[in-house]
Amino acid sequence: MISPASRIFCAVDTTDLDAARILAGQVAGAVGGIKLGLEFFVAQGPAGVRAVIGEDGPPLFLDLKLHDIPNTVAGGVRAALPLRPAFMTIHSSGGSAMMRAAAEAASVAGPDRPKMLAVTVLTSLDAADLSAVGQDAAVADQVKRLALLAKESGMDGVICSPAEVAMLRAACGPDFILMVPGIRPVWAAANDQKRLMTPAQAVAAGADHLVIGRPITGQPDPAEAARRIAAEIEAAETGEAAR
Ligand SMILES: O=c1ccn([C@@H]2O[C@H](COP(=O)(O)O)[C@@H](O)[C@H]2O)c(=O)[nH]1
């Protein structure tokens, strides 16, 4: 069974290289991997990623959320392969041809290729936000539609909110990876996240991995916060097993 700590990818969202290295060092051993995304990558680029992860560092989730025409996204994926990410993201709303091109580009790396994940509906959006951009489907229906398209288009999994995990696990099967942000322990602030649940609820619903930033990185002792979250997941899992 996958350990609670190894499910957690800590989102290191900063522009500062030293701060990122310190955070990654602090949470090493308390989480399963490090997520570096837009904010860090724009500021520090591939060299910064290498400086944080190192040669034999933790699994890297490179969350660039690529969204462009198929040729450009495929080029972006190929350019990221030397960083050896375990996971990469593109936007499912870029469409099937874009996702297929990305999957094909990743496959060049062979068995060590990154697992390709498609963002469905950002966890910061609710029904009113979707409606404002012309999408009047219920959020869960839109997430399901995009996840099924992602699966058909060769994606290994999706990014979804914890609220859609149980539904997607049933719709997409046991092997489709569900990487889940919008995670908030009861003791953490929601910030800009709108579709959220606790870590224990997300894992109980069937999430494979949890992406957690501010509830860990905003604490005075990030490692202690990560361990606290892992303990909450473990308590829920043990309780479930005992029932
Ligand atoms: O729908 C999405 C997709 C990605 N994210 C990313 O996850 C982390 C969450 O950070 P918190 O501080 O725990 O809110 C962040 O890096 C986002 O870019 C997401 O939140 N929602």
The first and second tokens of residue 163, run together, are 């609220």
What is the reported pLDDT for 238? 87
66 annotated as a binding-site residue:
yes
- 13 CA closest ligand 1 atom index: 16
- The verdict on the CB of residue 13 being under 6 Å from ligand 1 is yes
The single residue of 16, 68, 115, 129 carrying the catalytic annotation is: 68
In sign, the C-alpha dihedral spanning 59, 64, 65, 71 is negative
Report how far residue 66's alpha carbon sits from residue 73's, in angstroms, rounded to the nearest whole number: 6
Name the region of 229 (left: φ>0; alpha: ψ -120 to 50; beta: rest). Answer: alpha
What is the reported pLDDT for 43? 98
Q: Is the pTM of this model over 0.95?
A: yes
195 annotated as a binding-site residue:
no
Percent of the chain with pLDDT over 70: 98
Does 190 score more than 90 pLDDT?
yes
Helix (H) or strand (E) holding 216: helix 214-217
pLDDT digits (tens, 9 = 90+) for 97-147: 999 999 999 999 999 999 999 999 999 999 999 999 999 999 999 999 999
- The verdict on the CB of residue 193 being under 6 Å from ligand 1 is yes
The count of domains in the chain is 1
- Domain interval for residue 41: 5-242
Report the CATH number that the domain containing residue 116 is assigned in CATH: 3.20.20.70
pLDDT band at 33 (very low <50, low <70, confident <90, very high): very high
What is the reported pLDDT for 183? 98
pLDDT digits (tens, 9 = 90+) for 158-167: 999 999 999 9
- 182 CA closest ligand 1 atom index: 20
- The verdict on the CB of residue 80 being under 6 Å from ligand 1 is no
Closest listed residue to residue 92, CA positions, set 13, 168, 151, 27 = 151
